Every structure is written in C-alpha cells, then in structure tokens.
C-alpha cells in the first residue's frame, strides 16, 4: 500500500536518509526503530510531505505522492501524528478533533460518528470535551493527537514516538488502543519508537534504522530475539 | 450561551443604547462614533492577528482605502449605496495582491509588507492632491442615504453604527465557531500540525487577512460618510500601531476585548485632555499596566472575576 524506494533526504549538505526502501501493507503494523538521529522522524515527515526527498520515490496505493502538499496527503489517507503531540492549545478537545476532518468534505453525521469512535477508544477525552487543549495532561494530549489523526479517516496512521514523556502505565494503554484499532478497523500503522521493546511487541514487522540506512529487517518477533537488537535497543 | 455569557452582553447593549439619553453633547457622541468605527476595524484586525497570529500593520491603510474610495466616489456624485461595494472591492483586491505572495511564507513577512503598504497608501493620499485633497483631506463628503432616507445628526448616526458593530461582532463570532475559525486557531497554535490535520494554512491566512481588510474597508466607508471629513492623519502608520495596541490591551482573540480596547483607547486621550501634554505619560503607563497586570488583555480580567467570586 505504502511503498518507499531508495529514499534520500538531506538537510542542506547533510544527508539524513541514505537510500532506504520499505513498504507497509494494508492493515499491517510496522515498526521503525533506531536511536537518536537515525532518521526516523525524517522518514515520517518526508512521507507526510513536510520534507522533499532529494532522490527516490514514495508511492501510496500505486500513485507517487512525494512532492504533493501536506494537506493533500492527509486527504489521500495517510495521517501523521507528530512527535511531541502538537495539539492545538487554543481549541477545545472537541474542536481539536473536528479540525482533524479538515481534509475531507464536512458531513455533520459522519463527523459525529467519528467523534463517537474516538470517545469509545479514549473515554477520557469525552470527559474533557469542552476543556481547552492547554489544560490536558501529557497522556490526554497524546490521546487527543491520535484521536485527531483518526478523524481524517486514514488507511495508514503514522505515529511518531507516542510513548514520549508518558508514564509506563499510560504507554501500555496507548499501545493497547493502537492494537485494538488495527484489529477492529484494519488500520495500517507505521510506528516510530525509541521504546523498542513495546514497538516490537505490537508490530508484525520491523525495520532498524541506523544513521540513515536500514540495517536489519524482518518479522518483529524474530528481531526481538536477535542478539544485535537485544544488545543495542532492548538493554541486553 | 449561558447566563455568564449573555448577562454582560445584555448589559453592554443597554448601556450603549442609553448613552444618547444621558448626554446630548454632540462632541461626545461624535467621539463615540469614531470609537465604534475603530472597534469594527479592530474586530477585523483580530482575524489575522488575534486568531491566525499574523502581525498586520496594514489595517489603518485598509481603513483609509475604504474611506477615500467612498469619499472620492460620493463627491464624484455616485449614489451612496454604491460606496460600500466599491470600498469592499478595492480593499479585497488590495489585500489579495498583498496577501497572496506574502502569506505563503511563515514568520514576519506580513508585518514588513504591510508596513510598506501603509506607507505607499499614505504617500498616494498625500501626493495625489487633485483627487484626494492632499494633506488637507476631503471635506463635505455626502452623507449616508438610500433613496433620500438616511440618519440625521450625530445621535442617529450613533444608533446606526452601534447596529453595524453588533452585526460585525456577531459575524465574527459565527466565523470563529465555523470550520474556518477552527482552522485559524489551529494555524496559530501550530502551522505544521494544522497542515497535518488537513488544513490549508496559506488559504486560511489569506482569507483571515482579507476578511479583516473588508471590516476595515466598510468601517472606512462609514467613517467618510458619517464624519464627512477625512484626512491622511486618521489612517497613518501611527494609527496602525494604535489599532494593534487596542487589540492587545483589549485582549487578542476576544471579541468583547476588541470592542473594549478600541472604545477605551479612543476615549482615553480625550478624557485625559485636562492633563495637557502630560496625558501621554498617563496613557503610556496605563497601557503598560494592562500589558503587565493582564497579559491576556482587559477581556481576560472579566473571565477571572467568577474565579475570585468562587474563591470566597
């Protein structure tokens, strides 16, 4: 469904991605793991159109999407839930969620259905529905950011470090919800995580990114047992 | 809308409607009329600046463009009813030409472009003397009238302008509640996250800027045909900064704040006139006090009141 071929991305003279290739199939959870500065966030930002590749291609449902505007890519079905959440503090929880529908034609009943789905996944948000985004805790903001991404009715959800800054119990909840969503709706997920243990637990396949190149790939369960991974990312 | 919302609103409307019954001083009413027109202009400024977060110093120039379009057209003998349309067309064209190239860029490009635009408009007004009257301005501009019916005297103008302000505020409130309004706040809070949510941020910024220009253009039209005298001083760069101050002191992003700020800062210099040259000192201190003590503007004080009351 999402196919990335020989992708190169540079910031000025510094090449951050040095020709990576991978794909995400329909309804699959794929994890992209790796240390700081490996290029994980750059990969997601390039897919969502915030960055332009210097070389290589990104295709989505058989069509090339690199070079397309960010909001067009959301409309095509790829939602990006960015690192550090970036919710809208000046809007209420409800308004934050509805803003996620900006990429598609507004039908009131549809929006209400989607809101109901998000509240079912994250009942906490429903309790906070009229509160300003600024008043939410870190975990609630993460739920809101995921909820907002889901409001665009994506086929592929790209999550950038959803565990960042969250308490372990909240991380567990968030990952449970991601798996639940994937099972229920067949939503594809491309997950970027520093918390590799958690990511490998929920993903079907995984790729290890090191300084701009994919060094290892395979079924998540196999990677989780690989001694190199255990040593570098899972703490031995 | 709850009691908390409509009570101050109803109070404001009653006070506004009763003022002419209390004072018959034409000077006071005319000052209030200018205050109301400024409030409409500041409501317009709030779209691009308060909600989208773009610094706009061109609002006084759009105000002037609307006023001069109406002044020139009415003096040339066109019926009054055509002047609001002409003013709106001119300011829309100007804001489109100005906004289209600059609003694609992030950060402070709009601030720089609009400062330049304000200066261009002022220079044209000052130097195109045969048409604009130059520094001495345009006098005896025909008044508001549709088929010979129009407001007579300051008080009738006052009621008309209050009605226009009410409509301007209601329209602004409706826009804030719409998907466009949400897109504006989202763009201010995080341009990247807004785009990732599917918001076309360039379009949102441009529309907000143009709506603001239309507010200023209409206020300019009403200024020319109700005050009936216009000069470049009323629409200078100083006025642009003053409008920005009104927005900040009243409360960025707050509709009541825009009105409070504009009315307060229009009346204050006149109320302090007895101080002679010292009035600027007090005026400056007052503005600084508001910014330091209530960073959210005067409107934010009102929202703190229930908390104080509740604490007791």
Residue B205 lies in a domain: yes
Does B3 score more than 60 pLDDT? no
B32 to B99, B154, B231, B238, B285: CA distances (angstroms):
32, 10, 19, 20, 23
Please tell me if residue A41 touches chain B, with a CB cutoff of 8 Å: no
Counting the structural domains of chain B, the total is 1
Q: What is the pLDDT of residue B118?
A: 94
Q: Which chain A positions have a beta carbon within 8 Å of B196's beta carbon?
A: 48, 50, 70, 74, 79-80, 82, 86, 149
Q: Which residue has the tokens 């007052």?
A: B286
Residue B119 lies in a domain: yes
For the stretch B237-295, pLDDT in tens is: 889 999 999 999 999 999 999 999 999 999 988 888 888 788 778 888 888 888 888 88
Across the interface, whether the CB atoms of A95 and B182 are under 8 A apart is answered: yes
Q: What is the pLDDT of residue B304?
A: 66
Task: Using DSSP, state whether B291 is helix, strand or coil.
Answer: helix
Q: What is the pLDDT of residue B312?
A: 36
B182 to chain A, closest Cα gap in Å: 6
Residue B15 lies in a domain: no
B85 to A48, B91, B94, B217, B267: CA distances (angstroms):
42, 10, 14, 10, 30
* Residue in A71, A90, A100 closest to B200 by CB: A71
Residue B151 lies in a domain: yes
- CB crowding A202-222: b at 16 or more within 10 Å, else e: bbbbbbbbeebebebbeebee
Across the interface, whether the CB atoms of A99 and B183 are under 8 A apart is answered: yes
Query: Can you tell me the distance from the alpha carbon of B273 to that of A131, in angstroms, rounded to the nearest whole number?
Result: 45
Query: Can you tell me the distance from the alpha carbon of A37 to that of B108, in angstroms, rounded to the nearest whole number?
Result: 30
3-state helix, strand, coil in chain B (%, to 5): 80, 0, 20
Q: Which chain B positions have a beta carbon within 8 Å of A98's beta carbon?
A: 179, 182
Across the interface, whether the CB atoms of B197 and A102 are under 8 A apart is answered: yes
Please tell me if residue A70 touches chain B, with a CB cutoff of 8 Å: yes
Q: What is the pLDDT of residue B309?
A: 46
Please tell me if residue A152 touches chain B, with a CB cutoff of 8 Å: yes
Which domains, ranges and CATH numbers included, belong to chain A? 2-232 (3.40.50.300)
ipTM: 0.85
| Percent of chain A residues past pLDDT 90, beyond the cut | 57
Residue B74 lies in a domain: yes
Q: What are phi and psi of B72, to 5 degrees?
A: -70, -45
Q: What is the pLDDT of residue B305?
A: 59
**Domain housing B209:** 25-236
The average confidence (pLDDT) of chain B is 89
Q: Which of A77, A85, A99, A115 to mutate to test the interface with B (most CBs of B within 10 A)?
A: A99
Residue B132 lies in a domain: yes
Residue B159 lies in a domain: yes
Query: Can you tell me the distance from the alpha carbon of B300 to that of B249, in angstroms, rounded to the nearest whole number?
Result: 10
H or E stretch covering B25: none
Q: Which of B1, B49, B177, B198 to mutate to test the interface with A (most CBs of A within 10 A)?
A: B198
Q: What is the pLDDT of residue B310?
A: 43
């Amino acid at each position: 469904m999402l196919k990335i071929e020989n992708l190169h991305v540079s910031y000025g003279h510094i090449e951050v991605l040095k020709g990576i290739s991978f794909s995400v199939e329909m309804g699959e959870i794929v994890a992209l793991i790796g240390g700081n500065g490996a290029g994980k966030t750059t990969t997601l930002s390039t897919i969502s159109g915030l960055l332009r590749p210097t070389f290589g291609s990104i295709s989505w449902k058989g069509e090339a999407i690199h070079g397309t505007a960010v909001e067009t890519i959301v409309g095509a079905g790829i939602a990006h839930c960015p690192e550090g959440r970036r919710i809208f503090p000046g809007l209420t929880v409800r308004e934050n969620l509805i803003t996620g529908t900006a990429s598609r034609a507004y039908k009131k009943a549809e929006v209400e259905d989607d809101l109901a789905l998000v509240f079912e996944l994250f009942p906490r948000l429903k309790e906070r529905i009229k509160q300003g985004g600024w008043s939410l805790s870190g975990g609630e903001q993460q739920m809101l950011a995921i909820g907002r991404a889901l409001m665009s009715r994506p086929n592929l959800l790209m999550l950038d470090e959803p565990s960042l800054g969250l308490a372990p119990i909240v991380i567990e909840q968030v990952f449970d919800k991601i798996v639940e969503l994937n099972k229920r709706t067949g939503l594809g997920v491309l997950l970027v995580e520093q918390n590799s243990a958690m990511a490998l637990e929920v993903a079907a396949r995984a790729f290890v990114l090191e300084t701009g190149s994919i060094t290892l790939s395979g079924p998540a369960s196999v990677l989780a047992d690989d001694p190199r991974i255990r040593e570098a990312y899972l703490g031995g | 809308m709850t009691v908390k919302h409509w009570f101050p609103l109803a109070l404001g409307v009653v006070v506004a409607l009763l003022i002419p019954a209390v004072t018959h001083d034409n000077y006071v009413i005319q000052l209030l009329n200018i205050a109301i027109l400024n409030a409409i202009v500041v409501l317009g400024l709030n779209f691009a600046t308060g909600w989208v977060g773009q610094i706009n110093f061109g609002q006084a120039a759009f105000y002037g463009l609307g006023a001069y379009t109406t002044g020139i057209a009415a003096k040339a003998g066109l019926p009054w009813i055509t002047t609001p349309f002409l003013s709106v067309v001119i300011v829309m064209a100007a804001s489109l030409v100005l906004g289209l190239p600059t609003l694609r860029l992030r950060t402070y490009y709009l601030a720089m472009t609009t400062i330049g635009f304000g200066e261009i408009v002022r220079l044209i007004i000052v130097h195109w003397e045969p048409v604009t009257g130059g520094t001495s301005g345009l006098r005896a501009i025909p008044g508001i009238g549709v088929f010979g019916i129009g407001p007579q005297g300051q008080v009738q103008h006052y009621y008309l302008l209050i009605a226009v302000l009410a409509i301007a505020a209601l329209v602004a409130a409706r826009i804030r509640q719409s998907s466009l309004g949400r897109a504006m706040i989202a763009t201010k809070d995080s341009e990247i996250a807004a785009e990732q949510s599917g918001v076309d941020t360039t379009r949102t910024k441009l529309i907000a800027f143009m709506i603001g220009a239309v507010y200023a253009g209409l206020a300019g039209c009403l200024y020319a045909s109700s005050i009936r005298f216009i000069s470049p001083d009323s629409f200078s760069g100083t006025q642009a900064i003053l409008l920005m101050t009104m927005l900040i002191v009243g409360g960025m992003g707050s509709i009541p704040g825009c009105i409070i700020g504009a009315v307060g800062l229009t009346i204050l210099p006149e109320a302090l006139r007895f101080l002679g040259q010292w009035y600027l000192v007090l005026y400056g201190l007052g503005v600084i006090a508001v910014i330091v003590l209530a960073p959210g503007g005067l409107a934010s004080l009102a929202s703190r009141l229930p908390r104080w009351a509740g604490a007791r």
